[in-house]
A = this chain, B = another copy of it.
Amino acid sequence: MTGFAATPEPPYWAVIFTSRRTSGDRGYAAMADQMERLASEQAGFLGIESARSDDGLGITVSYWRDQASIASWKAEARHMAAQHLGVEGWYEHYEVRVAKVERAYAGPADR
A residues bordering B, Cβ < 8 Å? Answer: 1-5, 7, 10, 14, 16, 18, 20, 49-55, 57-59, 61, 88, 91-108, 110-111
Contact = CB atoms under 8 A, between A and B. Distances in A.
Among all A-B residue pairs, the 3 with the closest Cβ atoms:
A99-B99, A3-B57, A51-B51
A61 to B, nearest CB: 6
A96 B105 CA distance: 5
Contact of A20 (B3, B91, B104): B3
Contacts of A91: 107-108
Contacts of A14: 14, 16, 97, 99
Contact of A102 (B4, B58, B100): B100
Contacts of A93: 1, 4, 106-108
A51 to B, nearest CB: 4
25 contacts: A3-B20, A4-B93, A7-B97, A10-B97, A16-B16, A18-B49, A50-B57, A51-B53, A54-B54, A59-B59, A61-B61, A93-B107, A93-B108, A94-B106, A95-B104, A95-B106, A96-B105, A96-B107, A97-B103, A97-B104, A98-B103, A99-B99, A99-B102, A100-B100, A100-B102
